[in-house]
Amino acid sequence: MDTTAFRRGVRDVAPLLLGIIPFGLVAGIATVNAGLGLPAAVGLSVVVFAGASQLAALELLGQNAPLTVVVATAVVINLRLLMYSASIAPYFRDFTSRWKAVLAYVLTDQAYALSVANYRSDSEADRKWYYLGVAVTLWAVWQVTTVVGALLGTGVPDAWGLEFAIPLVFLAILVPAIEDAATGVAAVVGGAIAVVGAGLPLNLGLLVASGVGITAGVLTESATGGTDGD
């Protein structure tokens, strides 16, 4: 174990925990609001471990949405993890299958963004232990905060504005990720449609925005030849 790389990962992710903590609390509270108990909150956090899709699924369950819509929404939201996996896979090429499975389980937006940035700037970094320093810290904080949120339930005052922290976490990741015309178009188009479609039932606006945003990005990349970010 490379403790230096691990500690560096923990250090680098520490500022993001200011947004992750209220995010986890909100996820725990949402579980209670959806009529589920503490075991469900723990199960979702441990098994799913995907904050955005957890919140979307819980909201839909609270609205008695069809299970197919709940699953489809969660899958679409998490499709970005496939792109993250494809992007980060070359850095993990030499690891064993067991380690790859562990690293895949704790893959998140923050773990991906910080790790890839580190790998590109420091070719000598111990990739596995830096990644785990970031990802395991996020995992542990997420588990604890969702449990605390579920225990607190509706006892958290609205005046605390915990939900405001959620978009800030994703904005902190999104802005550096816009590197060329394709990613910029995907972000703008997807974001605009998500806002316009926010009133659609069963979170369908999010599904439409994701699909159209990705399509717009792909079309832009094809039109520009994918050279803007070079």
Global pTM reads 0.74
Q: pLDDT at position 184, please? A: 87
Classified as helix, coil or strand, 18 is helix
CA 76-81-85 angle, to 5 degrees, is 145
* Per-residue CA distances from 96 to 3, 92, 102, 125 (Å): 20, 9, 10, 18
E strand or H helix that includes residue 220:
helix 204-224
**Which of 184, 208, 180 lies closest to 194, judged by CA?**
208
pLDDT of 64 reads 81
Q: Indicate the domain borders of the chain.
A: 3-166, 178-229
* Tokens coding 102: 């562990």
Place of tokens 């899709």: 53
Residue 105 is predicted with a pLDDT of 93
Low-confidence ranges of the chain (pLDDT < 70): 154-177, 201-203, 206, 226-230
Q: How far apart are CA 131 and CA 138, in angstroms?
A: 11
Which residues fall within 8 angstroms of residue 155, CB to CB, at 6 or more apart?
A: none
- Dihedral sign computed on CA atoms, order 52, 56, 57, 59: positive
Sequence-distant (≥ 6) Cβ neighbours of residue 68 within 8 angstroms: none
Residues 118 and 142: their CA atoms lie apart, in Å, by 22
Instruction: List pLDDT tens digits, range 117-127.
Output: 889 887 777 89
pLDDT value at residue 38: 84
